[in-house]
Chains A and B, each alone.
Chain A
Amino acid sequence: QQPVQSPQAVILREGEDAVINCSSSKALYSVHWYRQKHGEAPVFLMILLKGGEQKGHDKISASFNEKKQQSSLYLTASQLSYSGTYFCGTEHEEGGGYNKLIFGAGTRLAVHP
């Protein structure tokens, strides 16, 4: 039931773009995205609810494809501060918004000058 994240790791130069995917085998109610830097707690980025919406702030945005049960996180014009491990947390539809999050194994992103 754990969502599958791809790729496992990405190396970028400053200014390059990246896409991180999160796929589930079960119908999803929501997808939550977090970024975690080494030795720190995960930091909330955004939530997407079923309905195929897209969200974003600054140069980080995400989409949720309900038909594919997949969410993608888009990082554009990457900055050094974007480095870290990105996790998606998925909530299954059967919970209707009252279920726990199940996190993927993470995607490690390194941005170099």
Chain B
Amino acid sequence: DTGVSQDPRHKITKRGQNVTFRCDPISEHNRLYWYRQTLGQGPEFLTYFQNEAQLEKSRLLSDRFSAERPKGSFSTLEIQRTEQGDSAMYLCASSLALGAEYFGPGTRLTVT
């Protein structure tokens, strides 16, 4: 068990560009979550998957955000036409159903 991994760890992009982040969950975990965290706040839920099915997406999430989890393994989070307000730490977590969520190290996004 190598834990949850995320790539890249840091991303600097210009406003208007698209970015994609990857998350590799703990191998036996069937649930995968994406969160966003800004300074001084707790993680804010974005979306989650059970296996390959996306079960819920935050109503706060604009249409510029999309996530996939093909084959129920790794997941990608794409942000299109980035805005400065998208600057944040993007955290991925995985769990077994009804179990604890284990977080990855996060991807810090800076939009200039």
Contact = CB atoms under 8 A, between A and B. Distances in A.
A111 B102 CA distance: 25
Contacts of A40: 105
A87 interface: yes
Contacts of B41: 105-106
B70 interface: no
Contacts of A89: 42-43, 101
Given A87-B42, A105-B41, A105-B42, A41 B103 contact: yes
Interface residues of A, number: 20
Interface residues of B, number: 20
Contacts of A87: 42-43
B98 A105 contact: no
A89 B43 CA distance: 9
B104 interface: yes
Interface in B29-46: 33, 40-45
- Interface SS of A by simple majority: loop
A41 B104 contact: yes
A85 B108 CA distance: 18
A100 B45 contact: yes
Interface of A: 2, 32, 34, 40-44, 47, 87, 89, 97-98, 100-106
List of 9 A-B pairs having minimum Cβ-Cβ separation, nearest first = A103-B42, A41-B103, A44-B100, A87-B42, A97-B98, A100-B45, A42-B103, A103-B43, A41-B105
Given A87-B43, A97-B98, 15 more contacts: A32-B101, A40-B105, A41-B104, A41-B106, A42-B43, A43-B103, A44-B101, A87-B42, A89-B43, A97-B97, A98-B98, A101-B45, A103-B42, A103-B45, A106-B40
